[in-house]
Amino acid sequence: MSFSQKSYAIFADSTKQYHVTDDVDAVMQNPYEFQTIEYFLYLKNWIDAVQWHLEDIVRDPNIDPVKALEIKRRIDKSNQERTDLVELIDSYFLEQYKEAKPLADATINTESPAWAVDRLSILALKIYHMQQEVDRPDATVKHITQCQTKLNILLDQREDLTTAIDQLLADIEAGKKYMKVYKQMKMYNDPALNPVLYGKK
C-alpha cells in the first residue's frame, strides 16, 4: 500500500469514527501509537472533521451571536492546530528523505508533501458527506442525481491526488524534486503581529 493509500484509509476511518457520535466535543479515540505518522494522520483528519462541522454550525442563520463568536474563535484555534500539524508531517518527510540527493536539474514543487496530504484529508470528508447526500432517503431524484455527479468527480479527484502525492514522494526520493518547507507564519493569532492585539497593550 502506498503512502497516499495508507493516508486515505486512515482519513476515511477517522471520518467514519467521528460520525459515530457526530459531536464536535467528542473525545478522539486515536487507535495508533502516539507520535507515529499514523497517529498524526488520524489526528489531522479528526481536527478537520471537527472544524468541518463547526463551520456548519456557525452558518446557522438563527445562531446566538455570542455563540457564533465563541465558535469563530474555536475555528481560528483549529486552523492554527491544522497548520502546526501539517508542518509536523512535513518534518516527517524531511527526515524520511534526508539522504536523498537532489539532481542538478531538480525542481521544487508548488506545495510540500504534507500540504498535499492536507488536501487529501479534506477530500475524504467531502466524499463522506457527498455520499451521505446521495444516500438521503428524503432527497429528490434530482438532488440525488446531482450529488452522484459531484461524488463521481470527487472520486476521480481522489485518484488523481493520491497518484500525484505518491509521484511527488518518489521524485523526492529519486532526487528529481526537492523539499523546501516554509513555515506558514500565521499572523492573526500572534499578539506581536496582529495590530488589533498589540494595539490593546
pLDDT digits (tens, 9 = 90+) for 107-166: 999 999 999 999 999 999 999 999 999 999 999 999 999 999 999 999 999 999 999 999
Domain locations along the chain: 3-188
| CA-based max dimension of the chain | 59
Phi–psi pair at 108, nearest 5 degrees: -95, 150
pLDDT of residue 193: 60
How do strand 177-178 and strand 107-108 relate by DSSP bridges?
parallel
pLDDT of residue 200: 60
* 176, pLDDT greater than 80: yes
Summarize the confidence of residues 76-81 as an average pLDDT: 94
Round the average pLDDT of the chain to a whole number and report it.
Answer: 93
Give the chain as a DSSP string: --HHHHHHHHHHHHHHHHHHHT-TTPPP---SPTTSHHHHHHHHHHHHHHHHHHHHHHT-TT--HHHHHHHHHHHHHHHHHHHHHHHHHHHHHHHHTTT----TT-EE-SS-HHHHHHHHHHHHHHHHHHHHHHT-TTS-HHHHHHHHHHHHHHHHHHHHHHHHHHHHHHHHHHTSEE---------TT-TTT-HHHHTT-
Q: How far is CA 36 from the centre of its chain?
A: 17
* 201, pLDDT greater than 90: no
pLDDT of residue 182: 75
Give the pLDDT confidence of 23-43 residue by residue, as tens digits. Answer: 999 999 999 999 999 999 999
Summarize the confidence of residues 54-71 as an average pLDDT: 96
Per the listing, cell 508548488 goes with: 110
Percent of the chain with pLDDT over 90: 89
- Cα separation, 51 vs 80, in Å, equals 11
CA-wise closest residue to 120 among 7, 2, 34, 6: 7
